[in-house]
Amino acid sequence: MTLVLRGRVLSFVDEPQAADDHQSYRFWEDGMVEIADGRIVAVGDYVARPGVEVVDHRPNLILAGLIDPHIHFPQMQVIGSYAANLLEWLNTYTFVEEQKFGDDAHATRIASAFFDELVRHGTTTAAAYCSVHPGSVDAFFSEAEKRNMLMVSGKVMMDRNAPPGLCDTPETGYDQTKAGIAKWHGKGRAHYCITPRFAITSSHEQMAMAEALAREYPDLHIQTHVSENLAEIAYANELYPNFGDYVGIYEKFHLLGPKTLLGHAIHLSHREVEVLAETRSVAVFCPTSNLFIGSGLFDYDRLHTHGVRIAAATDVGGGTSYSMLKTMDEGYKVLQLRGQRLTPLRSFYHMTLGNARAMSLEADIGSLEAGKMADIVVLDARATPQMALRMQSIETLSEELFLLQTCGDDRAVAETYVAGKALKSALLN
């Protein structure tokens, strides 16, 4: 069964080096993406072919599905919680809410809502944190499997500085992670991720267990948080007094590397930046969260100049939107405050190929090319009356992308395809 999507097709081939870096992408004004068996088989100019099913998305843009490399599945009902800072936000709301995921029925209900929201916002792949409970991982990956979505996730390991209902132990954290890997990793499109929440909620013994897991399963992703907030950093250093700095904690437990995703990475010393660059670890920029919680302004240019790999993510529920468009909109504003530039091309690169590369998934997703999975988003820059009006004065592709980023949200996502299947229009509400 062949399906052809017709529209204005945009796909990145590399990181844009300037606002007008036309070499960094391919664009077909009247283009098509041909899909068979869930994969892309051809991309190029549209040519009519009798007998082939065509969905005409013109004048909308067709891009690779959006990728969110840092999001918390058990925090759907935390979003928009009023707190002074990170540690207050975690203790007052988040650690209370995540305890509900000890109930499998709750986890199953929220998983369904979570994937609906991703699909609604055009996000086809995410790196997500589950709660400490293995049942939350089962709920998460079961729902992902139903929709055939490529997901990177795992149970958080946390054994201290949190309510008892949210703590495992070094042994149970290790055993449950191993069981989760055996059950889910490689099943369909599931990638299990070793997930020590952050240094504050893991004892030295648990970090050593995470290290053992990383050694046993060197191909797995690892995700954690680092240097988000000044009080958090001071507390982490107090808990790990002989580790030099916050990055040094993960470094000494051999948790850094090309498949390590480090949420936030805002307040870093020169040494820490160099270690991230040397280990090829990924710093994940979470702008809506960093602004909402008041954590700080991510120094994009500094990390980029030093060769640190950068991803961009929502961090819901610290983050305030599921939309990768809104995420890059806020990211743009963070960089404006720092006197740095974020071009529209670079923003859309990050949402697609950039985040795929940061997650080492670019062989499978992130661009529209023959052989890649048909995970696709269709974006409508005329989605609202004010956007349609603004589009009347827009002349270039970059201007259109910038409008989508600045004014767009889930309303601008006309369709979301996962493995060639239209999922957004199939949602019930």
Residue 335: enclosing H or E segment and its boundaries? helix 324-337
Contact (CB, 8 A) for 331 and 42: no
**Judged by CB under 6 A, does residue 289 bind ligand GUN?**
yes
**Judged by CB under 6 A, does residue 155 bind ligand GUN?**
no
Considering CB distances under 5 to 8 angstroms, the limit depending on partner class, which of Zn ion, ligand GUN, none binds residue 166?
A: none
Nearer to ligand GUN, 72 or 267 (CB): 72
Q: Is the dihedral of CA 194, 200, 202, 208 positive or negative?
A: positive
**Judged by CB under 5 A, does residue 154 bind Zn ion?**
no
Q: Which residues pair with 416 in a beta bridge?
A: 377
x-or-dash pattern for ligand GUN, window 236-275, by CB under 6 A?
A: ----------------------------------------
Which of helix, strand or coil describes residue 70? strand
Cα dihedral 32, 362, 341, 292, rounded to 10, equals 110
Nearer to ligand GUN, 63 or 71 (CB): 71
Round to whole Å and give the CA distance between 141 and 378. Answer: 25
Residue nearest to ligand GUN (CB): 318
Nearer to ligand GUN, 38 or 296 (CB): 296
Contact (CB, 8 A) for 17 and 304: no
- Pick from 159, 168, 272, 315: which binds Zn ion (CB under 5 A)? 315
Contact (CB, 8 A) for 152 and 107: no
Nearer to ligand GUN, 198 or 285 (CB): 198
Which range in 32-40, 86-94, 205-213, 242-250 contacts ligand GUN by CB under 6 A?
86-94
**What are the phi and psi torsion angles at 318 (to 5°)?**
-65, -40
Considering CB distances under 5 to 8 angstroms, the limit depending on partner class, which of Zn ion, ligand GUN, none binds residue 408?
A: none
Q: Which residue is listed with tokens 């201007």?
A: 399
Read off the tokens for 135: 């049942």
How many residues touch ligand GUN (CB under 6 A)? 11
Residue nearest to Zn ion (CB): 263
**Judged by CB under 6 A, does residue 330 bind ligand GUN?**
no
Round to whole Å and give the CA distance between 362 and 1. Answer: 25
**Judged by CB under 5 A, does residue 263 bind Zn ion?**
yes
Give the footprint of ligand GUN on residues 182-241 (CB under 6 A).
197-198, 225, 228
Contact (CB, 8 A) for 410 and 120: yes
Q: Which of 81, 68, 63 has the alpha carbon at shortest distance from 13? A: 63
**Judged by CB under 6 A, does residue 318 bind ligand GUN?**
yes
Binding site for Zn ion (CB under 5 A): 263, 315
Binding site for ligand GUN (CB under 6 A): 72, 86, 90, 94, 197-198, 225, 228, 289, 315, 318
